[in-house]
Amino acid sequence: MHNILIINAGSSSIKYQLIEMEGKTVPAKGLVERIGIEGSRLKYKSDSGKIIIEKPIPTHDEAIKLVLETLVDSEMGVIKSMDEIKAVGHRVLHGGDKFTGSVLVDDSVLAAIEENAPLAPLHNMAQKKGIEACMKIMPNTPMVVVFDTAFHQTMPPKAYLYGIPYEDYEEFKIRRYGFHGTSHRYVSLRTAKLLGKKPEECRVIVCHLGNGSSVSAVDHGKCVDTSMGLTPLEGVIMGTRCGSIDPAIVGKLMEWKGMNSQEIDEYLNKKCGVLGISGFSSDFRDLGDAAEQGNKRAQLALEAFSYSVKKYIGSYAAVMNGVDAIAFTGGIGENDEIVRRMVMTGMEYLGIDFDFALSDKPQRGIELELTKPGSTTRVFIVPTNEELAIATDTYELTT
């Protein structure tokens, strides 16, 4: 049994998963919510069922302690002692331009996570706290950090530079970094496998469509462009984030609505996207249902979202001089047939012979080709598995 614990910490939550690497099984997983806020609780799921522990969890230290106590608990636990956890893999949002892959944690890595915190203030510091909490409780267990940005570090300067004074790029590190890298890497590798090719032999566009959405161009195994930027706000229209907008809108909104920079940040991240367009939900199931019942703004939100995804596919096909496969992943990419239909309509020019009937009624949760035999460019659903990708990196760096 080679158990690896995966920790994905946010400012007030920690998602965790214990993965057994030999059988690639998940003996237990769950979530700690509302850390440091009233109503904190731990959710835990294993083969023996689900439990919720409601109690004050004031800090990330306490949260990690509770997760480990639950995992080794004599009744509901799945391991006998913490020694059975061979390593811990931590997801960290922003690695800046320092990290091109996953790394073993040491003092310099912790310092670099803090150094990059201005680029992702909420995430990086919370994730550092999660690592430090684990190090305190499990001082002899190796820790690995897997950065959301690492896979995109192969982008050439022409793709990651913005049209701003070069000095500001140098001084403030303002450039495109891209996110969801673990998912883009995992899904592009799986897609190459589905094509029966090596990653170095194909051009893949990955559409990771979830609450946050991003599209990437993976050219012969390397990411050459991606839609998210300095932060995860840029790119396609998202659940509550605006995606790419004319930057002048920011100043105008501040002027017209009297917003300060914090308020504008909150507005662009939480009030926009399909929630803003529809006026009632960021959940694509709600939007689909409402559109079906004739709600025009829900329909418009779905159309605007899909149109923005479609534009990225077109531009990334241009960037790579063609595309061999397009992969849909994430909660929306894997499950939302309305969006897939909208994105894939009128894509014959790319050599795509899309099987709309199959896409409308897929079997959920499996890798599936959505193009008909003979289609020059092929389209797949590839369920993402970021936790397994993190566990695999952690395993490779610690064995």
Which of these segments, 62-70, 161-169, 256-264, 329-337, binds ligand ADP (CB under 6 A)? Answer: 329-337
| Per-residue contact flags (x/-) with ligand ADP for residues 272 to 311, judged by CB under 6 A | -----------xxx--------------------------
Which of these segments, 108-116, 186-194, 199-207, 325-333, binds ligand ADP (CB under 6 A)? Answer: 325-333
Q: Of 331, 353, 362, 398, which one interacts with ligand ADP (CB under 6 A)?
A: 331
Residue 27 lies near ligand ADP (rule: CB under 6 A): no
Residue 239 lies near ligand ADP (rule: CB under 6 A): yes
Q: Which amino acid is at 25?
A: T
Nearer to ligand ADP, 53 or 358 (CB): 358
Q: Which two tokens stand for residue 233?
A: 């706000």
Nearer to ligand ADP, 36 or 331 (CB): 331
Residue 332 lies near ligand ADP (rule: CB under 6 A): yes
CB < 8 Å & 24+ apart, contacts of 197-204? 197/324, 202/324, 202/325, 203/320, 203/321, 203/322, 203/323, 203/324, 203/325, 204/323, 204/324, 204/325, 204/326, 204/327
Q: Please, what is the minimum distance in Å from the beta carbon of residue 341 to ligand ADP? A: 12
Residue 95 CA to residue 27 CA, distance in Å, equals 30
Q: Which residues of 352-362 are buried (b: 16+ CB within 10 A; e: fewer)?
A: bebbeebbeeb
CA-nearest of 94, 104, 262, 108 to 181 is 94
Catalytic residue of the set 148, 225, 324, 336: 148
Residue 266 CA to residue 4 CA, distance in Å, equals 35
**Rg, Å, the chain Cα set:** 21
Residue 293 CA to residue 89 CA, distance in Å, equals 45
Nearest position to ligand ADP, beta carbon? 331
Which of these segments, 8-16, 206-214, 245-253, 391-399, binds ligand ADP (CB under 6 A)? Answer: 206-214
Q: Please, what is the minimum distance in Å from the beta carbon of residue 284 to ligand ADP? A: 4
- 């990334």: which residue's tokens? 316
Render 200-222 in DSSP notation, one character per residue: GG-EEEEEEESSSEEEEEEETTE
Active-site residue, 148 included:
yes
Which of these segments, 105-113, 197-205, 210-218, 265-273, binds ligand ADP (CB under 6 A)? Answer: 210-218
Residue 387 lies near ligand ADP (rule: CB under 6 A): no
Catalytic residue set: 148
Site residues (vs ligand ADP, CB under 6 A): 210-212, 239, 283-285, 330-332, 335-336
